[in-house]
Every structure is written in C-alpha cells, then in structure tokens.
Amino acid sequence: MKGGIKYLVVILIFCPLIVINGCSQAQSKDVTTAVVPTQQDLIAMMNMANDLGKKFGWEIDSKPPTIQTANLNLSIWKDPLGVGPIWQFNEVLSSSIGLPFKDLVGKSVEIWAYPVSKPGNELKIVRYLCLVVYNSKVHGAWIADGGPNNVPGFPLDEKIPADFKNFALWLHQAKWIVDDEEPLKSLVGKDAPAVIKEFYNKGITGNIESAELMITPMGRTIGNNIDPKSYWKAYFQELTNITVKSIDPVNSVAKTGSDLAVLSADNIAFVHPTFDSKTYSVRFSNSKQIFVTVVKESSQDPWMIQSISKTP
C-alpha cells in the first residue's frame, strides 16, 4: 500500500510482570454469547460486507466471520473505566464514512468481523472489517488491526476523521480526560516519574479506579473481550506488598511530536497524536523490571500512562 496515509492507533497495555490469572478470564461485560446465524443470514451479510469492502478497496477473505452480540446500554457507553472510550472512538470512525450508530445505544447489537486485506499487499496483512448489525442491517463499520476484537480500530477510508484532527480536544469534550478533578488535577505540573510512582502507589494501596483514570482513555481497555476493571484489579493484586524502587528514563525511545509516527509493515503510518511521549525503566522491590511509556495528550494535560511492557 502506498502513500503513507496517517491514522490513529494506540499501543495496548500488556500484563507486564507475571501472568495474571484474571487477565484471560475477565470477559468484558459489553460482549455476550456468540451468535449462530442461519445460512440465509450468512449469505445476505456476506453480500453487504463485500459491497462495503469493495467501496473502500478492501477484499473480504473466504473465511467465515466471527459473530458476537454486544450490549450497548448507556452505562457501558459512558463508562470511562470500561469500554466506553473505545465504543465512542469506533463510532466516530464509523460516522466518518456515513454510518453513525449512536441511535443504537440502549440496544443489544451483533458485531460481525470479517478478515480483510488490501489487494496487491505483498505481505498479506490480515485485518478485520467489523460491522455493527441490528435487525439484519449494517449500522456501523470500521477496520480492526490484528484481530476481530482488537481495539481501537481505524476508518475504512484510512483518513483521520474530522473529530480527531485535534484528538486531545475530543478526549476532553467526551469527558474521557477530566483534569480539573482528581486524580488528574493533582498531577498537572508533576514530572513523569512522579506520575508513574503515584500510579503504582494508588493501585497497590487499593485506589484502583483512581489509578485507572491515570491511564490514557484509549489504553484503559486491554482488548480481546477482557473487562478493564477486573483486569486492573487483578494486575494490582499481583503487586501486593511490592513497592517501586527506581524509575529511570530510557532515552533511546523517548520521542515527541511528528517523531511518534511508526511505520508499519505495509507502509502506513500509525499515529496517536500525543503532544509528548517518554519511556521509563521501572524496578520494583521484588527485583522485577518493566517499561512504562507516559504521554501528554496536550501541553496543558498531565502525564498519563500509555503503555506497560516487559521491553521498551
């Protein structure tokens, strides 16, 4: 694929220290049982998926789709600690190609995910066309990168939606970042190591919701149908009686501004347009080491946790 088109992506947060039993078992409350469609439904939906894919240059794979029901009740849609930011993010992506689905909030919908690729892509990178289906009609659509449940996605036309031209402004207007209230209010003006230390202090001492609000809104959701609240509870339980011993900068990967663009294998730039980004090596009292990347969404915002990993 040519042209170096830019769109949004977020680095998801992985279990960084040891395998947490709750990570793989805490299913997100917005996703319920798989759907068993009739052959007639499969054919009809495949035709709709093909038509939509061809319109934007995507080729549908011959493999069957992954189908699940999702609960879009208002509490889930607005929950800053759950999957609310991801659902609203993907709704903007869908709206940008003329398929808004806000009117489905309060209803149970189906998510059909078809493997897709771009014709001529030598690397054959498989992505997924995700369709929001209600009453056998397509009401929403976006592309998910890496798997049918990976979040967030990007638009079918691969263009940044107008609402995301100033991504930090969207995060504030949607109330996903509220830095005039705690816990973010007291973080404004603090340096990045102090924010990282406060994040772990809050989580380890049981203030898990406050710790989660210190994570960037798009990074709070782990993906793969995992309930964020259960995940972070399990994550911090694994750190009981453990303290942060040192926080040191990893200068080789600290980047700002346009340098944050990372070129993917098929020549598309993935961009999360943060104002600034830094990565730190964090060591704990049990001798474990992880790497934490923090970002500022805008110059006025505090540092927030973006990603946690075993490697920088």
Return the pLDDT at 225: 65
Give, as one character, the DSSP assignment of residue 43: H
d(C-alpha 111, C-alpha 286), whole Å = 42
d(C-alpha 71, C-alpha 84), whole Å = 11
Return the pLDDT at 309: 85
d(C-alpha 257, C-alpha 295), whole Å = 11
Closest by alpha carbon to 111, among 26, 227, 31? Answer: 31
Amino acid at 288: K
* Sequence ranges of the domains in the chain: 28-169, 174-309
How does strand 289-296 pair with strand 276-284?
Answer: antiparallel
Return the pLDDT at 28: 53
- Residue 146, judged by CB atoms within 10 A of its CB (0-12, 13-18, 19+), counts as middle
Contact present, 291 and 310 (Cβ < 8 Å): yes
Per-position b or e across 96-109, b if 16+ CB within 10 A of its CB:
bbebebeebbeeeb
Q: What is the pTM of this model?
A: 0.80
| Region for residue 236 given its phi and psi (left: phi exceeds 0; alpha: psi -120 to 50; beta: otherwise) | alpha
Return the pLDDT at 119: 81
The pLDDT profile of the chain, 312 residues, written as one tens digit per residue, is 333 333 333 333 333 332 222 333 344 555 555 668 889 999 999 999 999 999 999 999 888 899 999 889 999 899 998 888 889 999 999 999 999 999 999 999 999 999 998 887 666 677 899 999 999 999 999 998 776 667 678 899 988 888 888 888 999 999 999 999 999 999 999 999 999 999 999 999 999 999 999 999 888 877 656 778 888 999 999 999 999 999 999 975 444 443 333 333 222 333 455 688 899 999 999 999 999 999 998 889 999 998 898 765
